[in-house]
Amino acid sequence: MDRDYEAALSTVKGLVASFRNNLPLARKLASKIRSLALDVEKKYGGDFKYRIMDFCGTHEWTITHFGIRSLMPPNIELVAGPGCPVCVTPSYFIEEVVKLALDGVVVYTYGDVYRLRSIRAVRGASSLSDARALGGSVRIVTSILDAITSARDVGRDAVFVGIGFETVAPGYAHAVDRGLVPNNLKILSLVKLTPPAMLYSIEALREKTAAEPPVMGVIAPGHVSTIVGGRAWAPVAERFGIPVVVSGFEPIDVLISIAEILRQLSRGEARTIIEYARMVTWDGDQRAQGLIASIFETVDDAWRGIGFIPKSGLRLRDRYGRYDAFKEYDIRDLTPESWRYDLPPGCRCGEVIIGRIKPTQCPLFMRGCTPSTPIGPCMVSMEGTCSIWARLGVGGLAEEIAKELELL
């Protein structure tokens, strides 16, 4: 192993190790957050809660799993954003791939997409899991490379369901660019871009009545930022005049990010800061960005339960049409005219996704919609807010959920 690389790796490992299980540091940060929250209240008033949006499902997992909400002072509320690609994939595309599976095409998909339910059944199947039970060929993979390897062996017509955010796009682009994709495998690119969704969510929350607090700060996704760079979030800070901190995923990372947001608020600042500096740079991975831009074009895209967000999706460029499942199987892309509200009756995922309500405010939460019997998309994926709250409601959150369900 290259010596410089080895040294860098051990530094990173050391840093992460010091972030884990570091209770003294966590206590100090919790106390710092409490005192900064008082400063913020003095500056802006104490009539409402200050909302900080954690955009990413993995951050929501860290916050919920480690009970970080229970460390927050009463005037600080952490709300989850739309950072779960499975949750926001329109029902229409699930129906299209179910159709392909039932028609004998081998469908490769990630595990959480396998259980994702559509609102309309196709020949009795409302998910890829149903399609497999009815004899369709559905295989679970963990990457496009798995799909490529399997498709080469299988030799039959096959489709890879390319769901994800900016983190998966370089892998898909690399496979196309290097000609790794066999002729029998097509890619259904459903990649979504996160900065436009963050702008949309904060805008939507700002349209609320004056009685409800706006989002006053954002914890931006660290892994996406390894690709897009810290600069991708600067428009959020500039447009809304709020601090944005690109954060890592250890509990200490998240606490530092919250403290930084409050520190900026107390000083009247609104800057984009990278806390996850051990992985993220201001410019991001420019090689990956160039590769993505050469293989994909950016399109206005539909988000489940929300509708169209401008410039928020990636589709293969025309010159790569021979890899494109849209073209091969004549799948029409959604348009603002053809998109229909696509959540099941009673499901409030569209509001959960943009932080407008908490999962416990959905009447179906744990009353019919559970991780083992999901009704809406936010209860399916490991990164879905409802699923995280249902599975990991620990510490203060467990009590909060119990109260809202009138169990306490």
DSSP string, 337-405: TT----S-TT--HHHHHTTSS-GGGSTTBTTTB-SSS--SGGGTSTT-HHHHHHHH--THHHHHHHHHT
By CB under 6 A, tell whether 386 contacts ligand SF4. yes
Count of all residues that appear for the chain in the document: 408
By CB under 6 A, tell whether 57 contacts ligand SF4. no
User: For residues 56 and 375, which CB has a smaller minimum distance to ligand SF4 in the complex?
Assistant: 375
Pair 47, 281: CB distance under 8 Å: no
Query: Strand order of the sheet with strand 215-221?
Result: 76-83, 50-56, 215-221, 244-247, 272-274
Tell me the closest approach of the beta carbon of residue 391 to ligand SF4, in angstroms. Answer: 12
User: For residues 252 and 378, which CB has a smaller minimum distance to ligand SF4 in the complex?
Assistant: 378
- Cα–Cα distance between 408 and 402 in angstroms, integer? 6
Least Cα distance to 243 among 233, 254, 256 occurs for 233
What is the rounded end-to-end Cα distance, in angstroms, of the chain? 56
Q: Is 36 helix (H, G, I), strand (E, B) or coil?
A: helix
Return the range that interacts with ligand SF4 (CB under 6 A); candidates 34-42, 64-72, 307-315, 358-366.
358-366
DSSP string, 140-190: E-SSHHHHHHHHHHH-S-EEEEEEE-TTTHHHHHHHHHTT-S-TTEEEEEE
By CB under 6 A, tell whether 162 contacts ligand SF4. no
Tell me the closest approach of the beta carbon of residue 402 to ligand SF4, in angstroms. Answer: 16
Return the range that interacts with ligand SF4 (CB under 6 A); candidates 103-111, 232-240, 360-368, 399-407.
360-368
Torsion of CA 303, 353, 262, 240, to 10 degrees: 40
Question: For ligand SF4, which residue of 229, 251, 376, 393 counts as binding (CB under 6 A)?
Answer: 376
> How many residues sit in the footprint of ligand SF4 (CB under 6 A)?
14
By CB under 6 A, tell whether 359 contacts ligand SF4. yes
Question: For ligand SF4, which residue of 349, 388, 392, 397 counts as binding (CB under 6 A)?
Answer: 349
- Cα–Cα distance between 9 and 3 in angstroms, integer? 10
By CB under 6 A, tell whether 362 contacts ligand SF4. yes
By CB under 6 A, tell whether 80 contacts ligand SF4. no
Question: For ligand SF4, which residue of 98, 236, 316, 347 counts as binding (CB under 6 A)?
Answer: 347
By CB under 6 A, tell whether 355 contacts ligand SF4. no
User: For residues 148 and 354, which CB has a smaller minimum distance to ligand SF4 in the complex?
Assistant: 354
By CB under 6 A, tell whether 313 contacts ligand SF4. no
Task: Output the six-digit token pair for 154.
Answer: 């299988």
User: For residues 15 and 357, which CB has a smaller minimum distance to ligand SF4 in the complex?
Assistant: 357
Question: For ligand SF4, which residue of 80, 144, 375, 392 counts as binding (CB under 6 A)?
Answer: 375
User: For residues 292 and 375, which CB has a smaller minimum distance to ligand SF4 in the complex?
Assistant: 375
By CB under 6 A, tell whether 365 contacts ligand SF4. yes
Question: For ligand SF4, which residue of 369, 388, 392, 397 counts as binding (CB under 6 A)?
Answer: 369
Pair 307, 339: CB distance under 8 Å: yes
User: For residues 52 and 379, which CB has a smaller minimum distance to ligand SF4 in the complex?
Assistant: 379
Least Cα distance to 138 among 183, 97, 86 occurs for 97
Pair 205, 164: CB distance under 8 Å: no
Return the range that interacts with ligand SF4 (CB under 6 A); candidates 52-60, 206-214, 223-231, 359-367.
359-367
Show Cβ contacts of residue 64 under 8 Å, excluding neighbours closer than 6 positions: 388, 389, 392, 393, 394, 397
| Residue reference for tokens 């790794």 | 180
- Cα–Cα distance between 287 and 115 in angstroms, integer? 34
User: For residues 81 and 359, which CB has a smaller minimum distance to ligand SF4 in the complex?
Assistant: 359
Tell me the closest approach of the beta carbon of residue 384 to ligand SF4, in angstroms. Answer: 7
User: For residues 51 and 348, which CB has a smaller minimum distance to ligand SF4 in the complex?
Assistant: 348
- Cα–Cα distance between 278 and 9 in angstroms, integer? 10
Question: For ligand SF4, which residue of 88, 94, 158, 352 counts as binding (CB under 6 A)?
Answer: 352
Tell me the closest approach of the beta carbon of residue 160 to ligand SF4, in angstroms. Answer: 26
Residues that bind ligand SF4 (CB under 6 A): 347-349, 352, 359, 362, 364-365, 369, 375-376, 378-379, 386
